[in-house]
Amino acid sequence: MMNAAMTQWDSGLCSGSDPISVTFSNAIPEPEAITEVLGGQGDVALTTLPSATGTTSGKRQYAYAPIGVTATVLGYWADNPNTGEPQSGMRLDPRLMAKLITLSYNLEDVSCKANGNAKGCDPGIGANNDADFFEDPEFTKLNPHMVSNGNSNQFPAVPIVLQGESDMTYELTRWMADNPAAKAFVLGTPDHGMRVNKYYKNMAMPTNTFVSDDPSQYMTNAFSPVAGLSGTAGVAGDLVLSSAPGYEYFATCPPPAKVCNTRFIPELQGERALYAVMDSGDTANFDVPDAALRNHAGRYVEPTRAAMAAALTSMVTAKNGVTQQVNLSSSNPRAYPLTMVVYAMVPTSGVGTAKGDLIARWLRYVAGAGQTPGQTPGKLANGYLPLPQSMRDQALKVANEVQAQAGNPGSSPTPTPTPSTTPSTSPSASGSLTPSASPSSSIALPKVTPRLSTVAVRDPLSSGLTRYALPALLIVGGLAALGGASSFVASGPLGPELLTRLKRVYRGTTHGRSS
């Protein structure tokens, strides 16, 4: 979720007289990132949910430092067929989201008997359920301003989602589970005759993984969780390129799978109907519309900075006394319900003075200059809320503990320095830091002898990471910008407008929403 922010922070951290190079791996889900860092395979883990196995490993102790405020969102294309332009202003409540996530729509009337494949499907879907959002009375009541577009693909109501474990998935399904109507739908209570896909009935919520439970072949083809979040090979890339990750079903394809390895063709502007569970950093930096979601007060709120700030005012603290989550029972009408605080889990003992100094420098940068919004290197990218002062102070306190390498004493802290402009690390599952040039600072920061490590350099038009031998700090967390089960496929050359959109987030020239 911190990929857009990390991209700008990294570029700022690499420039200056005393730089820090950051090895940032966003290919590792948060629970695995925590495990890897506790096992000594990285320096810093990025996470929203606290470690389920504690914060001590051998001689190492860890503490949580807030580094970013972001949000889970539903990004979408829902083009107006009359104008060819993307529509905006979509509203969704938890029950509508539950219908989408449980694959309960009728997929353009693809019934059990369609395409000669009746094996394993749920006959209740074809008989009673709406084809997609635009035929659902619940949706049309909330969105009378939106026009159905007669999508060109066969499966428009199958969402693009992350593969594997994710804190984002957990927060989304926690919001669904908190709503009585959504929970009742998943448990089997129909809505205007439409009922849950039987394979998802009684689905456990919250959960941190999207699972393909429907065994019917056409649904197996259509629902294809993506092994990555950001970049052209991830969820964001699939949505930006209007290329759903599923595969066409043809009765003429070889049995038993009936798959001809024909991926859905990219949808044309004016005909797009695509929905993706993603992060506010990517929707802002790729200029993708995001849905307004219903909060506990009954208001429909978009993930603006003001709405994320409102959610922070009533957050609840986890049992560890540090990490925080949205209070889903808050009556604040302005709060966005899927706001998330990202923490860096950092070592306060056991890593040595040099590495402790380096991680402390990174935290001070992130909590200082890195919280200034902007589109230039080192600034906070669009789609993120600057940390409030209390969280900056918390991050600086942890930075002192990391530098002291004396565990988490809670007493006799070193003086809190003014936030440094020295580049810092980025959110990800795990990672490592090494000194590199950073902007000059008024503070005398410890000098650390550069050590050889690796730096991940992202290419927005490839699905891999190119690594160069440079001094670096290793940070892990988030989800992959790497390719995976759903590698990028296009039917023709990329046009200049599309290339410009893809390159924005990597070159610091995006003009995403910030208000």
What tens digit of pLDDT does each residue of 272-311 get?
999 999 999 999 999 999 999 999 999 999 999 999 999 9
Tell me the pLDDT band of 152, cut-offs 50, 70 and 90.
low
Tell me the pLDDT band of 480, cut-offs 50, 70 and 90.
very low
Q: Locate the domains of the chain by residue range.
A: 3-69+343-507
- Cα distance between residue 140 and residue 147, in whole Å: 9
What tokens does 452 get? 């050889």
Neighbouring C-alpha atoms within 13 Å toward the C-beta of 219: 28
Considering the chain, what is the average pLDDT of its residues?
79
Give whole-number Cα distances, 15 to 3, 420, 454, in Å.
19, 14, 17
CB-based burial label for 371 (10 Å; 0-12, 13-18, 19+): buried
pTM of the model: 0.81
Q: What is the pLDDT, as a whole number, of residue 258? A: 62
- Picking from 315, 337, 312, 430, the residue whose alpha carbon sits closest to that of residue 2 is 430
Chain center to CA of 212: 20
Give whole-number Cα distances, 74 to 10, 77, 81, 275, in Å.
27, 10, 21, 7
Which residues have C-beta within 8 Å of that of residue 461, sequence separation ≥ 6? Answer: 232, 494, 499, 502
- Cα distance between residue 239 and residue 303, in whole Å: 18
Tell me what percent of the residues of the chain surpass a pLDDT of 90.
Answer: 54
Residue 202: Cβ within 10 Å count: 10
What tokens does 89 get? 């202003």
Which residue would you say has higher pLDDT here, 240 or 440?
A: 240
pLDDT at 443 over 70: no
Amino acid at 82: N
Amino acid at 323: T
Which residue would you say has higher pLDDT here, 213 or 438?
A: 213
Chain center to CA of 224: 17
Residue 121 in contact with residue 216, Cβ under 8 Å? Answer: yes
pLDDT at 126 over 50: yes
Q: Where is average pLDDT lowest: 100-104, 230-234, 348-352?
A: 230-234
Residue 404: Cβ within 10 Å count: 18
Which residues have C-beta within 8 Å of that of residue 321, sequence separation ≥ 6? Answer: none
Amino acid at 154: Q
What tens digit of pLDDT does each residue of 21-58 get?
888 888 788 999 999 999 988 899 999 999 999 999 98
Q: What is the pLDDT, as a whole number, of residue 266? A: 87
- Strand order of the sheet with strand 300-301? 91-92, 292-294, 300-301
Mean pLDDT to the nearest integer, 223-228: 89
Residue 93: Cβ within 10 Å count: 18
